[in-house]
Every structure is written in C-alpha cells, then in structure tokens.
Amino acid sequence: MTTQFSPGQVMLFKKLAKLQGKLQLLERYYNGDAPLPEGAEGASKAYRMFQRKSRLNMAQLAVSAVRERMRIGGFRTGADDDENGDVEARRLWKASNLEVGSADLHSSLLKFGTAYAIVGHPEGEEYPVVTVEDARQVYAATSPTNINKVTEAVKVFSENGYHYAYFYYADRIEVFKKPDDTNVYKVEDWQMLADGIRENPLGQIPVVKFTNADAAGEYETHTDILDRINHMILQRLVIVTTQAFRQRVLKGDFPTHDADGNEIDYEGVFDSSAGSLWMIPEGADVSELGQADINGILSGVRADIQDFAAVTRTPMHYLTPEGANGSAEGAALAREGLVFKTQDRIDRVTPGWSKVMSLMFLLVGDETRAKLLDLEPIWYSPERYSLAERADASSKFVDMPFRSRMTLVGQFSPAEVADMEIQRAGEAIFAQSLTGGTGDTA
C-alpha cells in the first residue's frame, strides 16, 4: 500500500527521520548513558561492568548551569497599566503550567539545539494549552528570510497501538496513522484518518520553534572531551581493581610435582584467608610486585574536566566540588562567562516565547494583547545575588524609584513588586490614619 503523504510531507518526514541518530546520541550523553569507553576487544561481561561504571555525566551539568538562570517572571503586552507584567498573561502562563514547562523547553533547547512548543485550545478546556514537545518527535521548516517564522511542521508519536503523524499548516492540520508494529520512519503504510483534515482556527501554524546558538546543543561539539574523561576513568578503575591485592611472585628452586608425581597447584596452595597457613619449599622466596601510580590519571581527568568547563563556559564548582575552593576573582570571572552565555540564550528564545503568548491570546480572542510587536517576556536577571548583597545595594540606591529599585537591584519578579506596592499603599493609609498626616511612600 502506498503512502498518502504529499511530496512536501514526505520531505518533512524524512528530515525528522534523519535527525534521529544525532538526537538519540545527545540524549544518551544527557542521561548518563554515553557510549562505553573503548576497551579490550571481545571484552568479558565483568569488563563491561567496568566500562559502564566509568561514565561521568558532565553533559547534564553543563545544561543545568544555563537552564537554572533562564526564568521568566511575566510578560509585557500592548494593554495599559502593565508595567509590572500583564495580569492576564500571567494567568495564561500559570494555566499551562509554563513555570515548569518553560524549564523543560529550555532543557530540550540546550540539550538538542532546538526545541518546540505547540499551542492549542482542546475542547472542554477553559484556557489554551501549551505543550512542550520532544525535539525527536517534531520538525518545523522556517522561512528563509525569518528563522522565527514556521512555514510548516510535522509531529510524529506513538500511542494506543498506532503511530500518528500530524502535519501543521496555517489553514489546516492533517492527521495520519499506521500500526505501531511497523517502522515509524518509513513513509509506507500511512493512512489519513477519516477526519484527518482539520481546520486550524488560528490562521497561523501553532508550532513555535526555538533555536540555540549554531543550532547545536551545549555539549554537542564537545563529546570528544566527555569520551576522553570516561576513557581515563575506565583506566583508573581497571588499574585499582586489578591491583587491589599486590601480585605475589614465588622465586627459587622448588618442586613442581609432589611425591606421587602429581603437579602441584601453587595457586591453590596460596589462597588468602584469616586462617590460612602457607608452607613453601625450602629455598623458595616470596615477593610482591609494586602497584601502579594512578596520580597521573587523576590529574589527567581533572585537566580534562577543566577543558570541558572552559569550552562550555561552565564554572568549575558545577562540575567538581573542589572547584568551589578557587579564588574569588577566578570564580567571578567564570560566573561572568556563564552569565554572558545565558543572556545570549535568553535573547535567542525571547521571540519564541513572545510568539507562544501571542498565539494564546489569539485563541482567547484578545487581539490587543496578541500583538506580537508589543509582547515582551520579563526575565529574571541571569546574575543572581545573595539577599545581603541586594539589601546592601538597595540602601545605596535610595534615590531610585521604588519599582526600578525592586526589579533591577532587589531582583524581585513583577508579581512580587506589584504585591509590595499594594502593601506599601496599605501601610501608607494605615500610617496616615494614625498620625493624621501623609504616609511616607519613598
């Protein structure tokens, strides 16, 4: 049976299939299941255990260091009186649980180099729903003149005994399926559902694409360093385990057979236990071989971790506990590199989140707030200071307007600042009622 995909759909489908190998490999590194370091050919099962235990998951740490600093506190829209962030935007954000969903999307972006969100309004739901999609299941083509504009997209997934393929266009969504006992990435056997052509109420493609720098994951171009770290850890494990007990050597003139002519098994004679007694032939000498020095291997691993920290601009204290013991100046420089990188990633995803929020407002019929040019995410600063540092700085900027001081210096979210202003107004009224004068709101 031939496929019902159009030539354009076949091309989209094949592009998604082509990405699977790379994305699956990046997922393995992220989950700590990196390819086993090179070992002896025809290695035994015991040696395979050494290889598995030698893998150190640095990839996830490199992603987490950036993701933890990418947090959205609210949105500004074209509506009036929303300097602290639009209340309606905040409600839609919470309704789709995007406080968590945005973190998951950022993880996918930093891991795979691309990430996707799909905006919809399922029947029976009060608010629009935003789903964060697995980059291994979605592919979107973009305009050659505007990389943030998706022209068509496909999503492929498996559920309830079938593979499904959704093709998204500005005016419609086409849905196909086939049994899940067939190869999902073969274009044969796909059949359109009876209601497979569905109207797209948005008039725009509901798939939003996010792209990382160079369309690559944070560790994608540095997997060789990760492999090198794992390889050296493997050598350490092998050396330490095989030399846990020093090798003994029996030297001298000693018999090889007993009085009955049977060959003597000296390996059995020299079993080690608490009650063992060794009887060695006269003139024989027992000595022990020295153990290999692994300090060079340990230093090599530390050097490789430092290399990985440098190329990914990840502070050493994220990758190894001893990295927290460096100088204050060195730590500040390392943190500065991470902040600059995080700010770059924030700039790259800002258009995508604006688009997501625009589509959500369109679905609820609010065209004023849906205007894309007026939408802007309000990000928490990627440079986070301690409460003591913020309090000290705030005391030195008393002439700055309260709202600016709380957001720029205090690093509070727009919602928190709005609550503070309400509390200050209440305190001012209360103070005025007690004194009969004007409350101080400076």
**Is the same domain home to 139 and 278?**
no
Please report the pLDDT score of residue 210 as a whole number.
Answer: 98
Per-residue pLDDT band at 353 (split at 50, 70, 90): very high
Residues 109 and 206 in one domain: yes
* Claim to verify: residue 73 and residue 192 sit in the same structural domain: yes
Residues 354 and 324 reside in one and the same domain: yes
- pLDDT for 277 equals 78
Whole domain around residue 204: which residue ranges? 1-240+319-383
Average pLDDT of the chain, as a whole number: 87
Same domain, 257 and 165: no
More confident residue, 72 or 426: 72
pTM assigned to the model: 0.83
Mean pLDDT for the stretch of residues 380-398: 82
Residues 304 and 157 in one domain: no
Same domain, 283 and 198: no
**2-22 pLDDT per residue, tens:** 468 999 999 999 999 999 999
Q: How large a percentage of the chain has pLDDT more than 70?
A: 91
Q: Are 4 and 176 in contact (CB under 8 A)?
A: yes
pLDDT for residue 27: 97
Of 178-182, 335-339, 422-426, least confident by mean pLDDT is 422-426
Same domain, 54 and 169: yes
One domain, residues 407 and 259 = no
99/220 same-domain check: yes
Whole-number pLDDT of residue 340: 94
Indicate whether 402 and 375 sit together in one domain: no
442 pLDDT band (50/70/90 cuts)?
Answer: very low
User: Is the per-residue pLDDT at 356 higher than 90?
Assistant: yes
Residues 83 and 62 in one domain: yes
Is pLDDT at 206 greater than 50 in this prediction?
Answer: yes
